[in-house]
Amino acid sequence: MSEKNTGAASVAAEPMVRIEGLRKSFGDLEVLRDINLDVMPGRVVTIIGASGSGKSTLLRCINLLETPDAGHVWFHGSDLAAEHVDVNRLREKIGMVFQGFNLFNNMNVLDNCTLAPVTLRKMGKAEAEEVALRHLESVGLADFARADVNNLSGGQKQRVAIARALCMQPDLMLFDEPTSALDPEIVGEVLEVMRCLAAEGMTMVVVTHEMAFARNVSDEVVFMDKGVIAEKGAPEKLFSSPEHPRTREFLSRYLEG
């Protein structure tokens, strides 16, 4: 983490992720239309918007779980969208947390965390477990290391998923609606972990419906509407005086509710 922090300070001018003219459609449906976005190192960018506005697709284009139709996604200066780029190597540096947790059902908590480091980093099993236990400790689940993932609660599963991603020591973390499948009482424990992560200086892109999180934790908020970025800016500005009428309409629903 400390190594990353100094890196963030020295190349602050260079964006970690640069998205240029990104387009994606599923059949006739245009999901993303000409998206441009920069994510600076050490910053937390939150993407908000109605369902079907293309938030998740945009996020999944950053680690190429969806292949863009046109445009560029630069990560640390290499274009992910270019032909024959080694996506696997780049994905090692991009952690992702899913709405449905997607923990590996055939392994226990610790094996979930050590699978990728052991397979890809050629790390010894013991060393990988030590790293994994440290990350599990930081999300408060060290006691569950030997537990079967199917016996955990939703909040615990999501925290394991975060620890699993952190074990690869990523430079960038992507969160795809990490709390949408959780009941309101345990949303807090996951958000707390994310808040700590942000405070440690992790670069994060978060798709979420948690407006309080977007407002308090993020450095930049992006509002998406019908496949385009309708508005983006600092959270105070976007939440208190939104310019775009769609943003105003969307936010008023949340503020009323």
Amino acid at 9: A
Of 106, 216, 240, 241, the one binding another protein (CB under 8 A) is 106
Nearest to 214 by CA among 61, 31, 44: 44
Q: What's the closest the beta carbon of residue 80 comes to another protein, in angstroms?
A: 10
Closer residue to another protein in complex, CB, 3/86: 86
Per-residue binding letters, 222-251, with another protein (x by CB under 8 A): ------------------------------
Name the one range near another protein by CB under 8 A: 113-121, 178-186, 192-200, 204-212: 113-121
Token pair recorded at residue 11? 């190349």
Q: How far is the CB of 106 from another protein (least distance, A)?
A: 5
Number of residues that bind another protein (CB under 8 A): 34
Q: How far is the CB of 227 from another protein (least distance, A)?
A: 22
Closer to another protein at the Cβ: 87 or 186?
A: 87
Residue whose CB is less far from another protein, 177 or 231: 177
The amino acid at residue 132 is A
Q: How far is the CB of 129 from another protein (least distance, A)?
A: 16
Task: Work out how close the CB of 253 gets to another protein at its nearest, in angstroms, rounded to a whole number.
Answer: 29
As measured in angstroms, the least distance from the Cβ of 125 to another protein is 14
Q: Of the candidates 102, 122, 120, 97, which has an alpha carbon nearest to the alpha carbon of residue 112?
A: 102
Q: Could you tell me where the DSSP H helices lie in the chain?
A: 2-10, 55-62, 87-91, 109-120, 125-138, 154-166, 184-199, 211-217, 235-240, 245-256
Our CB check for another protein shows the closer of 18 and 91 to be 91
Give the whole-angstrom CA distance, residue 255 versus residue 1. Answer: 36
Residue 28 near another protein by CB under 8 A: no
Residue of 143, 100, 95 lying closest to 117 (CA atoms): 95
Using CB atoms within 10 A of its CB, is residue 95 exposed (0-12), middle (13-18) or buried (19+)?
buried
d(CA 76, CA 11): 11
Residues 66-105 that bind another protein (CB under 8 A): 67, 84-96, 98, 100-105
How far apart (Å, rounded) are the C-alpha atoms in residues 160 and 234?
30
Nearer residue to another protein within complex by CB, 167 or 191? 167
CA distances from 165 to 12, 171, 211 (A): 24, 11, 24
Please report, as ranges, the residues that interact with another protein according to CB under 8 A: 63-65, 67, 84-96, 98, 100-106, 115-116, 119-120, 161, 164-165, 168, 174
